[in-house]
Amino acid sequence: MLTQEKTIGDFVAENFRTAEVFKKYNIDFCCKGGRTIEEACDRKNVNPEDIYRELEEISNQKSSDIDFNSWPLDLLADYVEKTHHRYVEEKSAMLIPYLNKLCKVHGDRHPELFEINELFQESAGDLGAHMKKEELILFPFIKKMVAAQRSGEPLDKPHFGTVENPVAMMKDEHEAEGDRFVKISELTNGYQFPDDACGTYKVTFKMLEDFENDLHKHIHLENNILFPKAVALEKTF
pLDDT at res. 59: 81
Task: State how far the Cα of 84 lies from the Cα of 216, in Å rounded to an integer.
Answer: 10
pLDDT digits (tens, 9 = 90+) for 107-124: 999 999 999 999 999 999
Q: Based on the number of CB atoms within 10 Å of its own CB, is 4 exposed (0-12), middle (13-18) or buried (19 or more)?
A: exposed
Q: What is the mean pLDDT of the chain?
A: 94
Residue 1 has pLDDT above 50, yes or no: no
> What whole-number distance in Å separates Cα of residue 127 and Cα of residue 159?
23
Least Cα distance to 65 among 19, 109, 25 occurs for 19
What is the model's pLDDT at position 45?
87
Residue 174 sits at the vertex; the CA angle it makes with 133 and 170, to the nearest 5 degrees, is 35
- Give me the pLDDT at residue 4, please: 60
Please answer whether residues 17 and 55 qualify as being in contact, where contact means their C-beta atoms are separated by less than 8 angstroms.
no
- What pTM, to 2 d.p., does this model score? 0.88
* 133-146 pLDDT, tens digit each: 999 999 999 999 99
60 or 96: whose pLDDT is higher? 96
Q: Is the pLDDT of residue 131 over 50?
A: yes
Per-residue pLDDT tens digits for 143-170 = 999 999 999 999 999 999 999 999 999 9
- 9-18 pLDDT, tens digit each: 999 998 888 9
DSSP assignment of 2-62: -GGG-BHHHHHHH-GGGHHHHHHTT--SSTTTTSBHHHHHHHHT--HHHHHHHHHHHHTS-
Quick check: 2 pLDDT over 60?
A: no
Q: 32-61: per-residue pLDDT in tens?
A: 899 999 999 988 888 999 999 999 998 888
Share of the chain above pLDDT 90, in %: 85
Would you say residue 3 has pLDDT above 60? no
Task: Quote the CA–CA distance of 140 and 87 in Å, as a whole number.
Answer: 20
Q: How far apart are the C-alpha atoms of 59 and 94, rounded to whole Å?
A: 37
Picking from 63-77, 156-170, 202-216, which range would have the lowest pLDDT averaged per residue? 63-77
For residue 95, pLDDT over 70 is answered with yes
Position 43 scores a pLDDT of 84
